Structure 1
Amino acid sequence: MASFVSGAFNHPGVFLDRAQLEFIRLNVNLGLDPWKSAYKDMMNSSLAALDRPATPFVNVECGSNSNPDIGCKAERQDALASYAMSLAWVITRNHTYADKAISYFNAWSYTLQSHNNSNAPLQSGWSGASWTRAAEIIRYTYNGWNATDVTQFENMFRNVYIPILINGSTSNGNWELVMMEAVQGMAVFINDEDVYNRAMSKFLLRVPAYIYLTSDGELPLSTPTNNLTTPAKIIKYWQYQTTFVDGLTQETCRDFAHTGYGLASIGHVAETARIQGNNLYPDNAARGQGPNGTDVQLGKRLRLSLELHSTYDGGAVPAPNWLCNGTIGRGLGPVTEVGYDIFHTRMWYNMPYTKNLTESQRPAGTNYLFLGWETLTHANNWVW
């Protein structure tokens, strides 16, 4: 198995590093937009209320579409609330926010024992992705989290989350992408190189099987575990789309919302990988690590996919007949800020449709699943 970490992990090192956190703090405190408005928007959210109680469950049971919902919404939103509190702590240096984040961590880590039912892996990925961002910030910027409680939180990751996530999924691609996002973050938090490498290996197999490039051939690539052995099976898995263009995803013709989840996780994982010393954005990165030894080309895939979907998401440009039979489910969601920052702000690519969509949606808020306040964290955040 390839190694994706050289030496010790960098901390804080999940999605945001110390320089980026300082960039956010400085711009909000200087009263500059869009960061000031984005921070105000986050703090006006019910998730940022200091009197909001944690509601942990022993066993979280989530079926399809969260039916049943036994702790599903509560877990996701408590995790996002802890992330809001961690960002508020960084920006204000008010320990009340850090302590509130810790109250969520402790409530769940001393209670949660399992995830069950059909959506358990996805639920674990969504919640886990938010937990890791928040906990990494608090652990490495605040000295008020008791060591015993930190260990308990680590144990929750090791015993409850990682076992249900690490083997991935053969469901629609957004599942496996957010599952590997969560495992990657947990691996950083618990300083486990083996778990990190397993997550990254599976992630790099999934990205080229999720976003199509014409260089892949006549049909999209597949992960080894998906058993898509015939063209008919591939086309069915790609929502019966038969015309493939650069940037199309496996879920484009399902709807743009689920596509947005997948694109968001790809950007999130790539950001954490960059912080850990593995820049996946150049076209020559991760060569030979895709399905059947193909090149991953993560940066090119994500950049073209964001621009393709942004072109049609606003509704000004109608969907052509070849795309999903001319009928698309718009609603990409607050998912473009990170990719736009990467490719336009840092790498100088011209992305006019992504620019228009990103700026029209500011300040990007939360989808109450695993996305949170990315205008605040990544608008023009060019600090490397």
Structure 2
Amino acid sequence: MKTKRLCTVGVIFLFFVAAACKKEMGSAAEKLALNNHDTVFVHPGLLHKQSDFDRMKSKVGAGAEPWLSGWHQLTANPHSALSWQPHPADTVYRGSDGVHRENYAQLYNDIAAAYATALRWKISGEDAYADKSIQIMNAWSGTLKGLGGNNDVNLAAGLYGYQFANAAEIMRTYKGWAPADFSRFQKMMRNIFYPMNHAFLTRRERCMSHFYANWDLCVMNSILAIGVLCDDRDLYNEAISYFKYGAGNGAVRNAVYFVHPDGLGQWQESGRDQGHTTLGIGLMGAFCEMAWNQNDDMYGYDNNRFLKGAEYVAAYNLGDAVPYKPYTNCVGVVQNEISSGSRGNNRPVWELVYNHYVNRKGLAAPNCARFAQRVRPEGGGGNYGPNSGGYDQLGYGTLTCTLK
């Protein structure tokens, strides 16, 4: 009798061991596939591919809406003007270190201009705008030596890293960008922005939920974008792996940290304020789109988990009631109710999310659709206030992301 019982226990034990091994093997296989991904990147292949530019050019040329209204938003923005002059700095400071003056506005304004003029070139075909974009990027790659400030410098390295890489990715095919100058820009991104990005994601601290989701997300975006710009598969894989398996709040299962029975996914910063939740949607949307253009579907990862989070954030910021699970973390943050701070915050982030899930994939995203309608046509840097928050997204999604 005792022998029979021991055999039964042994069988049960082996069953669970086999199940655990199967799960671990599946995870290992997924990681192996990630590392063995085709090493050839799509170029241009960050937020926009050449097919996207062909669509924009065709629709604007035909006077079709809403692309034409999006184009007018772009051309009316002073950052897209040929008169724009860059103001590069040797060191960019974000966050007071008690010694240096913060000057990061010089960088985010010039990035907005480099991106806006790059778009104008791709759609109008006028080389003067390409030359302006290149002028701005050459000025910075020939001047910038480092990033400084307090801990907020990680936000600068993340936000401006991925945005600058996007402007350069658009312009990489322009015959007027000298190979040596493009190489110098790549080195700036790899040697100044990436090391700070990498150090942040690989930090070792007692509590990895110390930083809110937007910190990790902007850094993940920068690493992924620099990986594509520099044709470095290891950097790209680093960002993709963190999205899936990372310990911090930028990983998708931590950013959309609880899925309610109604299918809405509570965003990790919902108890903090709505300005940061909508920023998070913009950052995760940008990450998913850049990966999509390299043939990796992060939008759909974990049963469209990002869609559930975006629908939750959109619903609450449109005035709807949403369920809320009290949030706590390991540094003592306790948020027992959803925050109404900055509720209704407008950012140019919704066209991208709406067009992917609804027009590209044919899924239901009614709250994202309503928010996209509300902010259409989306503007860019400078259209949402003069401070850094108005430049957290590259914008112009009505022009660039509308599919039909």
Q: When the two structures are superposed, what TM-score results if normalisation uses the length of structure 2? A: 0.78
Unaligned runs of 5+ in 1: 216-242, 286-296
Q: How does 1:140-289 map to 2 (within 5 A)?
A: 140=173, 142-169=174-201, 170=208, 171-204=211-244, 205=246, 206-214=251-259, 246-282=264-300, 285=301
Instruction: With a CA cutoff of 8 Å and minimum separation of 6, indicate the structure with the bigger relative contact order.
Output: 1
What's 2:136 paired with? 104
SS at match of 2:399: helix
* 67 and 17 in structure 1: CA distance in 2 versus 1, 3 angstrom threshold: farther
SS at match of 2:372: helix
Residue 212 of structure 1 deviates from its aligned partner by 2.3
What's 2:102 paired with? 70
* d(CA) in 2 for partners of 1:365, 1:203: 28
SS at match of 1:60: strand
Instruction: State yes or no: 1:377 paired with 2:400.
Output: yes
What's 2:17 paired with? none
The aligned amino acid for 1:33 is E
Q: How does 1:78-97 map to 2 (within 5 A)?
A: 78-97=110-129
* d(CA) in 1 for partners of 2:357, 2:396: 19
| Count of residues paired in the alignment | 338
Q: String of CA shifts for 1:347-384, please: whole Å, max 9, x gaps.
A: 12222222111111111123322332111111226xxx
* 69 and 41 in structure 1: CA distance in 2 versus 1, 3 angstrom threshold: farther
Residue 47 of structure 1 deviates from its aligned partner by 1.2
Q: String of CA shifts for 1:96-149, please: whole Å, max 9, x gaps.
A: 000000011101001011111221111111111211111111112x21101110
CA contact (8 A) 2:165 2:189 kept: no
* 119 and 308 in structure 1: CA distance in 2 versus 1, 3 angstrom threshold: same
Q: String of CA shifts for 1:26-45, please: whole Å, max 9, x gaps.
A: 11111111111111111111
Which of the numbers 352, 358, 370 marks the counterpart of 2:372?
Answer: 358
* d(CA) in 2 for partners of 1:66, 1:31: 52
Deviates more, 1:334-343 or 1:265-274: 265-274
Identity, % of aligned positions = 29
What's 1:221 paired with? none
Structure whose CA Rg is larger: 2
The aligned amino acid for 1:47 is H
Q: String of CA shifts for 1:230-262, please: whole Å, max 9, x gaps.
A: xxxxxxxxxxxxx99741111111112211222
CA contact (8 A) 1:4 1:197 kept: no
SS at match of 2:84: coil
* d(CA) in 1 for partners of 2:290, 2:375: 24
Note the aligned Cα RMSD (angstroms): 2.5
* d(CA) in 2 for partners of 1:103, 1:52: 10
Q: When the two structures are superposed, what TM-score results if normalisation uses the length of structure 1? A: 0.82
* 97 and 144 in structure 1: CA distance in 2 versus 1, 3 angstrom threshold: same
* d(CA) in 1 for partners of 2:146, 2:325: 44
What's 2:204 paired with? none
What's 2:310 paired with? 306
